[in-house]
Amino acid sequence: MASVIHYTIATEAEKSADFRRVLWTGKNTQLVIMTIPPGGEIGEEVHEDIDQILTFVSGTGEAQISGSKKKVAQGDLVVVPAGTKHNFVNTGPNPLVLYTVYGPPEHADGAVHKTKEEADELEEAGKDEPPTE
């Protein structure tokens, strides 16, 4: 029997300055918190077989989904279906803080990437692979 896993998610997200921190990885989903610095971005990408749901905790930004743009801020939720080109850009003076759920997992269990550059390097080196069964 699994134990209860509990987070006060906004608090967890706000206290992490890391670009990406994997909080929990299951067989079918993964919970990740992210902090995008002012002027920063996640980077345009497509997850071919992964759905992603992003919820914004603080800051202001822009969601870029399949060529459309929409402002995002605290309390907003954006769904990115598998196969959809997307990027999220911090347009404000403060960090853009969010949590995201991937289904299935996208990153290595327990991964912590201090910066986008570190995240990109680890991904390119094949050191940020999701767990396999």
The pLDDT value recorded for residue 69 is 98
- pLDDT class of 133 with cuts at 50, 70, 90: low
Q: Could you give the CA distance from residue 31 to residue 10 in angstroms, rounded to a whole number?
A: 13
Each residue of 68-96: pLDDT tens digit?
Answer: 999 999 999 999 999 999 999 999 999 99
Q: What is the CATH number of the domain that holds 85?
A: 2.60.120.10
The total of structural domains in the chain comes to: 1
Place of tokens 């069964």: 133
Is 1 within a domain? no
Q: Is the pLDDT of residue 8 over 70?
A: yes
Is 89 within a domain? yes
Q: Which of 9-18, 33-42, 54-63 has the least mean pLDDT? A: 9-18
Is 133 within a domain? no
Structure tokens at 78: 């954006």
The pLDDT value recorded for residue 132 is 83
What b/e sequence results for 31-45 when a residue is b if at least 16 CB atoms lie within 10 Å of its CB, and e otherwise? Answer: bbbbbbeeebbbeee
Is 42 within a domain? yes
- pLDDT class of 36 with cuts at 50, 70, 90: very high
Structure tokens at 72: 């995002």
Kindly state the average pLDDT of the residues 1-10.
84
Is 106 within a domain? yes
Mean pLDDT of the chain: 96
In eight-state DSSP terms, residue 79 is: E
Range of the domain at 60: 9-125
Is 32 within a domain? yes
Is 75 within a domain? yes
Is 130 within a domain? no
The pLDDT value recorded for residue 1 is 55
Each residue of 54-69: pLDDT tens digit?
Answer: 999 999 999 999 999 9
